[in-house]
Amino acid sequence: MQHDYDPRGIETAAQAFWDEHQSFKAVEDPAREKFYCLAMFPYPSGRLHMGHVRNYTIGDVIARYQRMQGKNVLQPMGWDAFGLPAENAAIKNGIPPSQWTRSNVAYMKGQLRSLGFGYDWDRELATCDPDYYRWEQWLFTRLMAKGLAYRATAVVNWDPIDQTVLANEQVIDGRGWRSGAPVQKREIEQWSVRITDYAQELLDALDGLTGWPEQVRTMQRNWIGRSEGVYMEFGLAGSAEVLGIYTTRPDTVMGVTYMAVAAEHPLARRAAETDPGLAAFIEECRRGGVSEAEIETMEKRGYPLGLNAIHPVTNETVPIFAANFVLMGYGTGAVMAVPAHDQRDWEFAEKYGVPKRQVIHSPDGSPCGIEACAYVEKGVLRDSGPFDGLTSAQACDAIATWLQERGKGEKRVNFRLRDWGVSRQRYWGCPIPVVRTPDGGVRPETNLPVLLPEDVVVDGSGSPLKRMPSFSELPNGEFRETDTFDTFFESSWYYARFCSSDCTTAMLDERARYWLPVDQYVGGIEHAVLHLLYARFFHKLMRDEGLVDCDEPFTRLLTQGMVVAETWYRGGADGRKEWFNPADVEVTRDDKGKMLHAVLKADGQPVLFGGIEKMSKSKNNGVDPESLIARYGADTVRLYTMFTSPPDQSLEWNDDGVEGAYRFLKRLWTLASAKAQPIGAAPAVADLAADLDGATAAARREVQAALKKSLFDYERQQYNTVVSGCMTMVNALYRLDDSPGAQAVLREGVSICLRLLAPIAPHVTHHLWQELGFGADILDAPWPAVDEAALRQDSIEYVLQVNGKLRGKVTVAADADRAAVEAAALAADCVRRYTQVGVPGTDDARCVTPQISEVRVRKVIVVPGKLVNVVVN
Ligand code: ANZ
């Protein structure tokens, strides 16, 4: 066996072995328990980053672990290949998006292979392949037929940089999620999918997703945002029309002093036709933000429509305003304003001098005035005519009933969730399979797939499809839709297509029924709402098409933590920061590790610490996985990412830690190569277990104890402590001597350690397993089990402390109770020297009379199985 650990040779050979034996090819087998493990597929941006490496290592550890439990494992990989960056790169480099994407895919595939991930590459898919996207086009035509996809003019979030519509979820703090540009409101005709039809089911089913982090379920619940309220109609003075509103506080109806409608509300628009001031106000609102956070904080502004509404209970008239804080897309786009009991309405009323009318009072007579702010609590109704004296809860019911009886309203459940607008005015996406007919109608395309032309010039001025008559012009005066799908469309069902990736006759086939649902999904928390909600929705759409038979796509979800690193910068003259890679910075620290100062290696001049941030290009604090693999090998990179923190927590990058991971694998290697011969020849430990000497039995016990803990940690997906358990084992094994018993324990210990490490560092363990003669393929080895007998101990060694200082050790029977342990500790010479006054050797021996022997023990602390601390005066 070679002497030095050479990761490169070992890893290439192991990968070749897996290829040759098709080790990760997944074949449906109803007789075996299946396990479908999936990590979120990457966007082919060009190179893998450390976040990918961590994500895919976690997935691979789980997949290999389940495989070694004997399950039939599917772990596929593919590419989320449509999207804007390809178009931007095309503009910059003058190459078609398809070419850029496919060459990135090829490169990144090589990188994934070099990490030794156990993927069934036969199932690889890229969402830009017509074989893939044709099926979502097909599903869309089915949704059209069912009325679940529809076209409507809608006010949308418009990203002026990316020149596209954004979903609400893609607007973060009023800015486009990708471009960062302030979002504008625009009215545009687009295709939407009725996710709201599934809102209740999507909400209810969250309760059953017990394998998901609570945080993600809460985020989805909030996003769906179910509220129970009342829809009611106000009359319009001088007209037969009505103004419908939605409120969650019908108990405040008697306090309404004005109405407010969104700037885009038809009523406001109509009034603007004859009022230029109002038209200008509406135009201004268009520019405002659309996010709720922004609306919450912005100045509340309005403009009177010159119209009055008629109160449904009192028949009084109240003025109607257009207001910038009313959202067109929520409820009915109109609200009844109750300035006494709603803070927004209160601020608005203060500003425009509208009266406030208090109708809710605190039930216990505590102060509830509305001079300084609205009284928003629930309470008891006053000045409320027929509803006086009712509590808010009673009034909500009574008022709903009152309105219902008069045909003026009803109880209603409202969702914050909007239908999913799926049209994007971009080129590099899946064409929406729709044809516009000369009469202004639409029909689904029957001849699928609608192929996206790939040989195009993208120059930045909108989608090239719009300038391609060969694509858009059809016979008989018809036109093809030139919008493409939101790329979340593709990523909403790829997990299912992996099951039937080569099926040419349908979107999915019976294999999907075997593999689905995904047993374990792994990915970033940033997808908690967008991707994971859409995928759950799509799953239900496919279920209702009869394509799958389960209700939810992902049984367990692991959201991995971010990879973070230090950031360093200098402020430029123009106020911009220049960021330096941590590898180029030399940091001086004091002996406690505190930073003293830092300089750029290149020029020796100081740089400033910018905090610990997610690894990113913009902060230049990334580490390139490829160079790490070249230097240390894939196993070290994998081991490091697993060892440094639990998967769901953030991982703070540390170069010394990588070095440490590498040293551990070398140490394992050295142990195995130095002892390869005796390991090969060692007797079975079972034959000798009863006769092991004390030190050998102790080493075996240590290995078994670490094994027991590691098995538990594997189950709870805490791989960092699995690795430290393996380190403990290797240390114990190094201490063994050459006796036959010790060799048997060594053999057993190495075989346990290799198997435990196999999912994490698969190459070196694969190699050593074969070299040491344990078997042909560690993947097929039985998972190690604990020998409980080895854990039993006749005696336990306790560490003895006096006032917290180590003073010696004592051995007591393993079944000794607390009193016996305490007595043994107090009787030990090394302790007695400090507890007996006047005994020679104690500090104050000189100043007391030698014949007095006085016990000075104040307290004895026993940590069972470990330590006794004796506290003395
Ligand atoms: C009157 C009222 C009085 C309200 C009061 C609140 C407190 P959730 O719980 O989120 O569903 N609202 C309704 N439609 C709106 C829109 N398009 N834009 C802005 N605000 C809108 O919120 C429902 C409440 O939000 C409704 O109840 C309405 O204000 C407001 F003391 O009606 B309320």
The strand pair at 334-337 and 258-261 is best described as antiparallel
Asked whether residue 518 carries a pLDDT value surpassing 90, the answer given is yes
Residue predicted with more confidence, 173 or 604: 604
In the chain, the domains with their CATH numbers are: 32-130+499-559 (3.40.50.620), 136-201+419-485 (2.170.220), 226-414 (3.90.740.10), 564-614 (2.20.28.290), 651-791 (1.10.730.10), 795-872 (3.10.20.590)
pLDDT confidence of residue 848:
42
Report the pLDDT value the prediction gives residue 489, as an integer from 0 to 100. Answer: 97
| 309 neighbors 317 (Cβ within 8 angstroms) | yes
Ligand 1, atom 26, lies closest to the CA of 247
Nearest CA to ligand 1 atom 32: 247
Rounded to whole angstroms, the Cα distance separating 684 from 672 reads: 17
Task: Give pLDDT, residue 385.
Answer: 94
Quick one: which atom of ligand 1 is closest to the CA of 334?
Answer: 17
Tokens representing 758 are 């196999």
Above pLDDT 70, what percent of the chain?
96
Residue 568 C-alpha to ligand 1 middle, in angstroms?
46
CA gap 26, 124 in Å, rounded? 12
Ligand 1 atom index nearest CA of 295: 19
Distance 2 CA to ligand 1 centre (A): 74
Give pLDDT, residue 851: 42
593 pLDDT exceeds 90? no
Q: Band of the pLDDT at 161, cuts 50, 70, 90?
A: confident
Contact between 516 and 483 (Cβ < 8 Å): no
Residue 859 confidence (pLDDT) above 50: yes
pLDDT of residue 846: 44
Residue 329 has pLDDT above 90, yes or no: no
DSSP assignment of 17-61, as one string? Answer: HHHHTTTT-----TTS-EEEEEEPPPP--SS--HHHHHHHHHHHH
Each residue of 738-762: pLDDT tens digit? 899 999 999 999 999 999 999 999 9
Answer yes or no: is pLDDT of 456 > 50.
yes
User: Please, what's the largest Cα pairwise distance for the chain?
Assistant: 121
* Binding-site residue positions for ATP: 617
How far apart are the CA of 248 and the centre of ligand 1, in A? Answer: 6
Q: Which residue did the predictor score with more confidence, 290 or 262? A: 262
- High-pLDDT (> 90) share of the chain, %: 78
Cα of 253 from ligand 1 centre, angstroms: 12
Binding residues: 617
Question: Which range is least confidently modeled, 216-225, 571-580, 635-644, 702-711?
Answer: 571-580
- Containing H/E element for 540? helix 530-544
pLDDT score of 295: 65
- pLDDT digit string, tens, across residues 5-25: 999 999 999 999 999 999 999
Q: What residues flank ligand 1, with Cβ below 6 Å? A: 227, 246-249, 252, 326-327, 330-331, 333, 335-336, 338, 341-342, 414
**What's the pLDDT at 460?**
64
* pLDDT tens sequence across 537-558: 999 999 999 999 999 999 999 9
Task: Round to whole Å and give the CA distance between 120 and 34.
Answer: 14
Q: What is the DSSP string of 726-788?
A: HHHHHHHHHT--SSHHHHHHHHHHHHHHHHHHTTTSHHHHHHHHHHTTS-S-GGGSPPP---H
Mutate-to-test residue for ligand 1 from 335, 343, 373, 384, highest number of ligand atoms within 8 A of CB? 335
Average pLDDT of the chain? Answer: 92
Task: From residue 664, give the alpha-carbon distance in Å to each of 15, 46, 635, 731.
Answer: 22, 32, 11, 10
Q: Please, which pLDDT band fits residue 290 given cuts at 50, 70 and 90?
A: low
pLDDT confidence of 358, banded at 50, 70, 90?
A: very high
Tokens coding 521: 């999904």
Measured in angstroms, how far is the CA atom of residue 207 from the centroid of ligand 1?
Answer: 27
DSSP code for 160? T
CA distance 600 to 580: 8
Across 407-430, average pLDDT: 93
Mutate to test the pocket of ligand 1, among 249, 344, 381, 416 (most ligand atoms within 8 A of CB): 249
Distance 300 CA to ligand 1 centre (A): 15
Mean pLDDT of 381-408: 96
At residue 313, the pLDDT reads 96
Q: Which of 105-119, 280-294, 547-561 bottoms out in mean pLDDT, i.e. has the lowest?
A: 280-294
Q: pTM score, two decimals? A: 0.86
Query: Which ligand 1 atom sits nearest the alpha carbon of residue 330?
Result: 17
Per-residue pLDDT reduced to its tens digit, 771-809: 999 999 999 999 999 999 889 887 888 999 999 999 999
Q: Which is more confidently placed, 94 or 25? A: 25
Given ligand 1 and candidates 221, 246, 359, which is best to mutate, with the most ligand atoms within 8 Å of its CB?
A: 246
> What's the pLDDT at 598?
94
What is the rounded distance in angstroms from the CA atom of residue 845 to the CA atom of residue 159?
A: 84
Residue 837: pLDDT band with limits 50, 70, 90: low
Question: Is 70 exceeded by the pLDDT of residue 418?
Answer: yes
Residue predicted with more confidence, 720 or 159: 720
Cα(326) to centroid of ligand 1, in Å?
A: 9
Q: For residue 268, which of 283, 256, 253 has the smallest C-alpha distance?
A: 283
The residue to mutate among 330, 347, 361, 378, having the most atoms of ligand 1 within 8 angstroms of its beta carbon, is: 330
**Which residues of 532-594 form beta strands (DSSP E)?**
554-560, 563-571, 577-580, 585-589
Indicate the pLDDT class of residue 814, thresholds 50, 70 and 90.
confident
- CA 187 / ligand 1 centre spacing (Å): 24
Q: Which of 134-138, 184-188, 499-503 has the lowest mean pLDDT?
A: 184-188
